[in-house]
Amino acid sequence: MAKDVRVRFAPSPTGMLHIGGARTAIYNWAFARSQGGTFILRIEDTDPERSTEENVQIILRAMRWLGLDWDEGPEVGGDTGPYFQMERMQTYEAALEELKAKGAAYPCFCAKEQLEADRAAAEKADGGYAGYVGRCRALDAAEAARRIEAGEPHVWRLRVPERHAPIAFDDAVYGHMEFPADVMDDLILVRTDGSPTYNFACVCDDANMGITHVIRGDDHLSNTPRQILIYEALGYDVPTFAHLPMILGPDGKKLSKRHGATNVEEYRDRGYLADAMVNFLALLGWSLDGETTIIPRSQLAHDFSLARITKKDSIFDEKKLNWMDGVYIRELDAEQWLCEAGPWLAMAKVAGEKAPAGVTVTPTPTQEEAAQAASELRVPGAGVEEMTWQSALADVADRPAWYREICPLVIERMERFDELPAKLEYLFWGPNVRLDEKSQAKVLGKDGAASALAICRDVLADASVPWECEPLQERCRALGEEAGLKPRNLFQPLRVAVSGNMVSPPLFESIVLMDRADVLARIDAVKGML
Ligand code: GLU
């Protein structure tokens, strides 16, 4: 019978959870779920200088945001813990003792300077550098024991068997792989300070945690033959490996900060939905059938398979992510939408209330400026005075019915929540207007703009017309027609006067969300400029 699937995601808490790491986590999670297996989270914190508790928390938080629940690991525990490598030192010591007893590990006393000199000499010679020369390999056991006893600094190396056959394994992604064993030097297992190396700790943990499949980035491919040598030396079963191709930026180079955000939480802060993010990342190197792009989490958890991971590197295409996020946003009902949009609506309120008194004209951004603004990170609440921010949040919480009504105005055309503040701030201008320069010139500069505004103003001021979308719009349209104004020439000046821009969410639907007095004040102020 096949063993129950056990997989792990093993981040080093030396930084944030980045895009590549998140995809690795998603694949492990989805594979475990699709196989009815166990997903383990293990923190590889053996680098004391670079690992921090803060980074651990950031990684856990990002995992939770993505909805990647782990069955064993920090905070949830499990039978094969502890799940922090620093707490597993005894297991590495025990494994080293076993290797020593078998003669499969030996102490190496070569000083750093000596190793550097060896390397320099090898690099000059024909064959080039092929790793440790093996000087201490043949050291007499009694002498080695004496030197250890005398406190001489040393590391422990794996004694790679001589004339070992090529190291072969069948990678679930890359297929059959073979590495000649004679180029493997005697790798270090335990450092001078007694700490295990990544390769050693990783193998001990994967074996002790009963990991059946190691799914990780292909930057670890060169570690795999070395790890297999350690498995063999310890007599452990070798798991199945699945190495994941790289994620590249649009320019075909390895994804990095240059391409934009690489930290997963920045995507959360930009207002992407976790479900969209998981779907998008899952498709960077895997496909369901080569066609389907919208694959909800539940389907991923059901249908994920290692067989459909591609060997080809994939390109991180932010446009596709934006599109996909829009698709997921449209799946939300008004209640869920409000829940996600809440902080962004509060930002819209904060931004809107900053509008200066009366009418101000603001320069229209160029295409580059607009693109630049869209790529800027705007964490809701950042840079806002605490009291102002809290009161904006409280307003959203206190008037959910009103805020929920904004949803149908924008949901069809939005891709990200961080678009909302700029798009909706006009709802919060009160009697003031921020006029977009281009809209002003194009729409308000036309003949007839003043009479269009006058007609609409009369209707909006008429208390006998209910403050509702249909009656207001119909009444304006009818009067406009009488005056010989096409709907477009009637409504565009009104749109610019009310929202400041010739492109805005639906006009009358927005108007009825605002105070009559404010709307009239805006029209009057703009009319006064014509
Ligand atoms: N801690 C390693 C890393 O973050 C894990 C590699 C592995 O999955 O074996 O790259």
pLDDT band at residue 1 using 50, 70 and 90 as cut-offs: low
Position with higher pLDDT, 123 vs 61? 61
Tokens representing 363? 């320069």
CA of 40 to the centre of ligand 1 (A): 13
Atom 4 (ligand 1) nearest CA: 11
pLDDT at residue 429, rounded to an integer = 98
> pLDDT by residue (tens digit) across 423-437?
999 999 999 999 999
CA of 8, closest atom in ligand 1: 8
Choosing from 100, 257, 438, 446, the catalytic residue is 257
pLDDT, mean of residues 41-69: 96
Answer yes or no: is pLDDT of 395 > 90.
yes
Q: What percentage of the chain has pLDDT greater than the value 70?
A: 100
Q: Give the count of beta carbons closer than 10 Å to the beta carbon of residue 378.
A: 17
Going by alpha carbons, the residue nearest to atom 3 of ligand 1 is: 11
pLDDT by residue (tens digit) across 106-139? 999 999 999 999 999 988 987 788 889 899 999 9
At 456-487, the pLDDT tens digits run 999 999 999 999 999 999 999 999 999 999 99
| Ligand 1 center to 41 CA (angstroms) | 11
How big is the chain, counted in residues? Answer: 530
Sign of CA dihedral 380, 384, 390, 394: negative
User: Which residue has its alpha carbon closest to ligand 1 atom 6?
Assistant: 10
73 CA from centroid of ligand 1 (Å): 15
Give 306-334 pLDDT, tens digit per residue: 999 999 999 999 999 999 999 999 999 99
| H helix or E strand, kind and range, residue 24 | helix 19-34
- The angle at the Cα of 83, spanning 79 to 85, to the nearest 5 degrees, equals 135
Nearest CA to ligand 1 atom 5: 10
Kindly indicate the confidence band of residue 274, based on its pLDDT and cuts at 50, 70 and 90. Answer: very high
User: Which pLDDT belongs to residue 424?
Assistant: 98
Q: Compute the distance from residue 255 Cα to the ligand 1 centre, in Å.
A: 18
Whole-number pLDDT of residue 257: 82
Among 40, 44, 219, residue to substitute to test ligand 1 (most atoms within 8 Å of Cβ): 44
**Mean pLDDT, the chain, whole residue set:** 96
| 38-41, strands of its sheet edge to edge | 38-41, 6-9, 213-217, 240-244
| Closest atom, ligand 1, to C-alpha of 217 | 8
Alpha carbon distance 14, 385 (integer Å):
32
Banded model confidence at residue 198, pLDDT cuts 50, 70, 90: very high
Cα 216 to ligand 1 centre (Å): 7
**Substitution candidate for ligand 1 out of 17, 220, 222, 246 with most atoms within 8 A of CB:** 220
- Which pTM does this prediction carry? 0.93
128 CA distance to ligand 1 centroid (A)? 28
Using CB distances shorter than 6 Å, the residues near ligand 1 are 10-12, 44, 202, 216, 220
Is pLDDT at 272 greater than 90 in this prediction?
A: yes
Q: Which residues face 247 on adjacent strands?
A: 314
Mean pLDDT of 490-499: 98
Mutate which of 202, 224, 241 for ligand 1? The one with the most ligand atoms within 8 Å of its CB, which is: 202
Cα-based distances in Å from 506 to 329, 489, 526: 18, 16, 20
Question: Would you state the pLDDT for residue 489?
Answer: 96
Span 223-271, pLDDT tens digits? 999 999 999 999 999 999 999 999 999 999 988 888 878 899 999 999 9
**From 107-111, 179-183, 425-429, 492-496, the region with the lowest mean pLDDT:** 179-183
2: pLDDT confidence band, cut at 50, 70 and 90?
Answer: low
Task: Give the pLDDT of residue 175.
Answer: 98
Residue 36 predicted with pLDDT over 60 = yes
Ligand 1 atom nearest the C-alpha of 21 is: 4
Q: How confident is the model at residue 141 (pLDDT cuts 50, 70, 90)?
A: very high
Is the per-residue pLDDT at 3 higher than 90? Answer: no
Q: CB–CB of 266/259 below 8 Å?
A: no
**Does 320 participate in catalysis according to the annotation?**
no
Confidence (pLDDT) at 511 = 98
Beta strands 188-190 and 155-158 are: antiparallel
